[in-house]
Amino acid sequence: MFEGFEGGRMSAAFMSAGTSSFTEFLREVKPDLLPGQHLGSGGAATSAEHLTPDATTIVALTFPGGVLLAGDRRATQGNVIANRDMDKLYRTDEFSAVAIAGSAGIGIELAKLYQVELEHYEKLEGRSLSLEGKSNKLAQMVRGNLGMAMQGFVVIPLLVGFDENTEKGRVFSYDAVGGRYEEHRYYSVGSGSVYARGSIKKLYRDDLDETTAIKVALEALYDAADDDSATGGPDLHRKIFPLVDVITEDGHRRISTDEVARLATEVVEGRAVNPDGPRARLG
């Protein structure tokens, strides 16, 4: 009737005091469900990157009392747009969210597993992991993907969270081998990240409020889309806009499509007047 349920008993692993890590538990009872179990090492020499599309640009920035995560909607496969309205942002618990850039198929699974991992720990232990703990956990999971990364399936996540102890938003970036770096103020990953970071650098202020911070993120994504063909800009005709998640002391919140549409339309209209966007003041 239920798998793993033989002779009227769950397998012993379900009842043992054991681990509070979902990944470790899954490895014990159902290893085939873990990401990247089936790909093996075959054909490592030839590139396998065409098997899954690439998710592109993500930006994150902090503002007093919170942190913001925004992503464009495009996924590409070589020169083809594989998906126009992809959601790359994942609410992982009340006070954290993760976004993925790189191989979409692997990244989505990684984010999903990470989400369950945090919740599983919280339920078993009765308290959630610290933000540091969450960021280290993600580093281990990215490192676990190293074999896949060597075959071309690189996944680069970006983690944002609200630290309840210091009451500040924080941003963590990763490299393909699981190196974890805490970023201050803002960061961006993905194919258009170079342009996005340059854009935020000129627009960022320490006293941004939430709405202005969203505007900065949208400007940055616009700049990324402007110069990187793999990043999608706001699509006013199809009504596809970037996604924005905000985390404050009240928890995680996705900004409504209407609100993002309004701000994105302002950005696009601004560019009609001034195609290169807002100018930073000198001196």
Partner 1 sequence: MSMPFYVAPEQQMKDKADYARKGIARGRSAVVLQYEGGILMVADNMSRTLHKISELYDRIGFAAVGRYPEFENLRLMGVRFADVRGYQFDRRDVSGRQLANIYAQTLGTVFSESLKPWEVEIVVAEVGDTAAEDEIYRITFDGSIVDEQGFVAVGGSSEHVSTQLKDRFAADAPLSAALNAATHALAHENGEERELEAANLEVAILERSRQHRKFRRIHGSRLASLIEEGQRGTTGGASVSGDSGTGAGTGTGDEADE
Q: Which residues are near partner 1 by CB under 8 A? A: 1-2, 5, 7-10, 13-15, 17-18, 22, 25-26, 29-30, 33, 91, 112-113, 116, 119-120, 123-124, 126, 250
Nearer Cβ to partner 1, position 91 or 271?
91
Nearer Cβ to partner 1, position 42 or 126?
126
Burial 213-248 (b: 16+ CB within 10 A, else e): bbbbbbbbbbbbbbebebbbbbbeeeebbbbbbbbb
Residue the block writes with tokens 């258009």: 192
Instruction: Say how far apart CA 69 and CA 58 lie, in whole Å.
Output: 7
Shortest distance, CB of residue 179 to partner 1, whole angstroms? Answer: 27
Largest CA distance in the chain: 77
Instruction: Say how far apart CA 241 and CA 272 lie, in whole Å.
Output: 17
Mode of pairing for the β-strands spanning 89-93 and 96-103: antiparallel
Shortest distance, CB of residue 24 to partner 1, whole angstroms? Answer: 11
Round the CA-based radius of gyration of the chain to a whole number and report it: 20
Active site residues: 56
Shortest distance, CB of residue 123 to partner 1, whole angstroms? Answer: 5
Shortest distance, CB of residue 1 to partner 1, whole angstroms? Answer: 8
Half-sphere exposure of 40 (CA within 13 A, CB side): 3
Instruction: Say how far apart CA 97 and CA 105 lie, in whole Å.
Output: 18
Residue the block writes with tokens 């960021």: 135
Mode of pairing for the β-strands spanning 58-63 and 54-55: unpaired
Shortest distance, CB of residue 112 to partner 1, whole angstroms? Answer: 7
Nearer Cβ to partner 1, position 170 or 252?
252
Instruction: Say how far apart CA 193 and CA 158 lie, in whole Å.
Output: 12
Nearer Cβ to partner 1, position 106 or 264?
106
CB atoms within 10 A of CB 204: 16
Instruction: Say how far apart CA 4 and CA 266 lie, in whole Å.
Output: 55
Report which DSSP code applies to 176.
T
181 phi and psi, to 5 degrees? -130, 130
Shortest distance, CB of residue 223 to partner 1, whole angstroms? Answer: 33
